[in-house]
Amino acid sequence: MRTMLEGKRVSRISVRGFAVASATAVTTVGAVVGVASGQEQGSVAHTEAAAADTTIADIPAGQQAQVQTASLTHQADEASTQADAAALKSAQEAARKAAAQDAQDKKDAADKKAKAEEDAKKREKEKEEASRSATRDASTFTAKASYSIAETQAIARQMLPADQFQCFSNIVDHESGWNYRATNASSGAYGLVQALPGTKMASAGSDWRTNPATQIKWGLNYMNSRYNSPCGAWGFWQKNHWY
């Protein structure tokens, strides 16, 4: 009988070579060993100790495939666990990089928006400054003894930015009808824009009483400083009928 068993055994490959480290694999080996030796199965610790010193050659040929399968299954489980851990680590790193990139993209977008708003404000400011500057100064006009309405309006067109002339004209139409000598008998307001008192226009030139260019210069400065532009002044005038 012993001769027959030895003929059926394989070479003495250590069970450790199959990495029978899991409880399932070790228990299986121990159980087989117990059966093969005619002993009853003991505790898990006893089984593990028996399995540790057992070789495939000590196990009946009919049970060797089971032992090898348990060992390989355990190795596959360990490999799977390691692969899962590696995949988890990779996913976490990818998520971290994605979050960092998202934060950077948001910052870049915010910076871009802030710059665009700053540029828009700058352009608007430049536009306002250009609007507030007369295209031609009053001193460049040759003084005359008198001016018609058409001549006065022509001077205003040359002194005012194109997009502000109509608003300025609307106010002057209501205030003086383009009469640069217009005087309000009750208040003392004087000139095209009805400065009150008229002497205020002396800041624009000593000839404020007789030169419409001087009056236009003062009126433009007043509207710019108080309402930001002639159109701003006209908007206020429409609501209040004064400015």
- pLDDT of 49 higher than 60: no
Q: Which residue has the higher pLDDT, 51 or 156?
A: 156
- Whole-number pLDDT of residue 207: 96
- pLDDT of 59 higher than 80: no
Look-up: residue for tokens 């000598």?
181
167-176 pLDDT, tens digit per residue, is 999 999 999 9
**pTM for the full predicted model:** 0.48
Please check whether residue 210 is in contact with residue 216, taking contact to mean a CB–CB distance below 8 angstroms. Answer: no
- Whole-number pLDDT of residue 40: 46
Look-up: residue for tokens 């002497």?
199
CA distance 224 to 194: 16
Domains delineated in the chain: 2-85 (no CATH), 132-240 (1.10.530)
Q: Compute the mean pLDDT over every residue in the chain, rounded to the nearest whole number.
A: 79
Looking at mean pLDDT, say which of 19-33, 87-101, 115-129, 181-195 comes out highest.
Answer: 181-195
Looking at mean pLDDT, say which of 37-46, 70-79, 105-114, 129-138 comes out highest.
Answer: 105-114
DSSP secondary structure, the chain, as one string: -HHHHHHH-----BGGGGT--SHHHHHHHHHHHHHHHTPPP--HHHHHHHHHT-BGGGS-HHHHHHHHHHHHHHHHHHHHHHHHHHHHHHHHHHHHHHHHHHHHHHHHHHHHHHHHHHHHHHHHHHHHHHHHS-SS-GGGSPP-S---HHHHHHHHHHHS-TTTHHHHHHHHHHHTTT-TT-B-TTT--BTTTTBSSGGGGGGT-TTTTT-HHHHHHHHHHHHHHHHSSHHHHHHHHHHHS--
183-242 pLDDT, tens digit per residue, is 999 999 999 999 999 999 999 999 999 999 999 999 999 999 999 999 999 999 999 999
Q: Categorize the per-residue pLDDT at 66 as very low, low, confident or very high, splitting at 50, 70 and 90.
A: confident
Q: Give the residues across from 14 on adjacent strands.
A: 55
CA distance 191 to 215: 7
Please check whether residue 111 is in contact with residue 119, taking contact to mean a CB–CB distance below 8 angstroms. Answer: no
Q: Categorize the per-residue pLDDT at 74 as very low, low, confident or very high, splitting at 50, 70 and 90.
A: confident
